[in-house]
Homo-oligomer: A and B are copies of this chain.
């Protein structure tokens, strides 16, 4: 991991004196108010764009440039950032490194997040080896599978533990985020157990709708659904191309 966890000193700002403390409290105040879910989902995108700009040696960027890099509207970007605080300078733009740190802090990436992956099949293995996690403060703390001993008991430098030890591992390692990559049939039971031992954030790859109590966040990634959405539009394109004016629609296309 090469990302800087260091707290970059505040760049030259409009506020003249050392009212930085008051500013920091204002920041904290702002952060406490609700940030829209849509905005939260874009913060990581901004983060990535900022990192990319830093790699190019760019020190300052306007909202226009940032929005371009992130693939969004500049007004939207400015409004999103305004939820976090006033980190830009009018007439100049945003200090890339400073803003990057502020967003990272807001998301919580300045701390270490141990993660457990439940289900070490094709996908679980791939995720365990995915470099993008570690570089952002997510550390695969444990791998768990229903029957690990017969097959492989180690994967890279990590041992694959038995599902029985799930609760023990979660507690001992202080894990609060779980990734579920089990078959669909096992996912709900695993989720129940995860919730029971205190997990409140689940990233679910199993193609089922998990039901969890309030206070537990579940995000679902469904590869098959993504392809189906693409297929829908693709089919639409094909039909439209065949009947440009809509006049030739037979009873049923295909």
Asked if A165 is at the interface of the complex by the 8 Å CB criterion, the answer is no
Query: With A and B bound together, what is the CA distance between A135 and B54 in angstroms?
Result: 44
Asked if A18 is at the interface of the complex by the 8 Å CB criterion, the answer is no
Q: With contacts A44-B225, A133-B224, A209-B71 known, is A232 near B107, CB below 8 A?
A: yes
Which residues from B are CB-within-8-Å of A123?
A: 126, 130
Q: Is the CB of A251 within 8 A of B28?
A: yes
Q: Tell me the count of chain A residues lying within 8 A, CB to CB, of chain B.
A: 78
Q: Is the CB of A230 within 8 A of B133?
A: no
Q: How far is the CB of A142 from chain B (nearest CB, A)?
A: 15
Query: With A and B bound together, what is the CA distance between A12 and B226 in angstroms?
Result: 33
Query: CB-nearest residue of chain B relative to A183?
Result: B131
Q: Is the CB of B28 within 8 A of A250?
A: yes
Q: Beta-carbon contacts of A119-134 to B below 8 Å, as 1s and 0s?
A: 0001101110110110
Q: Is the CB of B224 within 8 A of A136?
A: yes
Q: Is the CB of B133 within 8 A of A122?
A: no
Q: How far is the CB of A103 from chain B (nearest CB, A)?
A: 10
Query: With A and B bound together, what is the CA distance between A221 and B203 in angstroms?
Result: 13
Q: Is the CB of A230 within 8 A of B211?
A: no
Q: Interface of A with B (CB < 8 Å)?
A: 21, 24-26, 28-29, 32-34, 40-41, 43-45, 47-49, 69-71, 106-111, 113, 115, 122-123, 125-127, 129-130, 132-133, 136-138, 176-177, 179, 200-203, 207-209, 211, 215, 217, 219, 221-235, 237, 239, 246, 249-254
